[in-house]
Amino acid sequence: MSRLNLHHLRLFQAVATEGTLTGAARRLNLSQSALSAQLKALEASLGHDLFERVGRGLVLTEAGRIALDHADTIFQTADELSATLAETGRARRALRVGALATLSRNFQMQFLRPLIGRADVEVVLRSGSQDELLRGLDGLALDVVLTNLAPARDAASPWRVHRLDDQPVSLIGRSHRLGRAALSGRPGGMAKPLAELLSDHPLVLPAPGTALRVSFDSLVDRLGCRLSIAAEVDDMAMLRLLAREDAGLAVIPRIVVQDELASGLLVEAARLPDMSETFLAVTRERRFPNPLLKPLLGG
């Protein structure tokens, strides 16, 4: 491979920012033909197309997005060097993470913890709906999506689904509400039968239609108990807050309230049989996957 021409790289950065050859040529005071020729020289040097034409504009290819990340880093470092006459920091790589808005914050932190505090890494975290996040992943604006909803897949699907963790689901509440029903240090144990716990206390439940709620409703049908429902929510953070506020016993994965369990603010009244929350990472098939992902996905 020929030596990288930084002048060509700077021109490429301008075109990527403007989105059109016309706009970039005007900004750089170059002719479009000269700019186009130098972009083609850069693509030939790198061995990959950096843009594809969509309508009248130019859209970065996967190789183009990676090249732009590196170009931004190269020129930012050069600017810092010029300003300080000394290197003040290492080049940084970004990991763009999308997380389902209702997903446990504790789980998100557990996934990202190996990168937190690293001087060479910038974590960009976005939350949204499953559809929004998958569109971002498909458009290469995100490197990975954290979710508890497996996306629909077929033979043509670009998604790769990585199973990260299965967390037990429990009945969680304030100790004074549970009284003798509170655990006495035995994981999964209970001082009252499960059907009695479910019947005697108001419950804070996952929203109808969610995977957790479907499993819970099936359990209740088997036990044949009557319920008093205090709240139904689709957000793990709100389930946690309602349990803290003593709205009732919450049906919730332990990881969501791990800090409250450790401090004793909340206790586990019962482990719910045959119920677990599956946490997933979804990536897109890519020729150039972000290298920061491999250790996080267990690769």
Pick the CATH number of 93-165+280-296 from 3.40.50.300, 1.10.10.10, 3.40.630.10, 3.40.190.10: 3.40.190.10
CA distances from 159 to 127, 135, 150, 210 (A): 19, 11, 10, 21
Q: What is the mean pLDDT of the chain?
A: 85
**Which pLDDT score is estimated for 272?**
93
Show me where the domains of the chain are located: 6-84, 93-165+280-296, 167-277
pLDDT band at residue 198 using 50, 70 and 90 as cut-offs: very high
**Same topology between domain 6-84 and domain 93-165+280-296:** no
Mean pLDDT of the 72-98 span: 67
Class of domain 167-277: alpha beta
The model's pLDDT over 259-289, given as tens digits with 9 standing for 90+, comes to 999 999 999 999 999 899 899 999 998 877 8
Mean pLDDT of the 84-112 span: 78
Rg (CA), the chain: 26
**Which pLDDT score is estimated for 55?**
81
CATH 3.40.50.300 fits 6-84, yes or no: no
Mean pLDDT of the 111-133 span: 91
Mean pLDDT of the 49-54 span: 89
pLDDT band at residue 94 using 50, 70 and 90 as cut-offs: confident
Q: Are strands 202-206 and 249-253 parallel, antiparallel or unpaired?
A: parallel
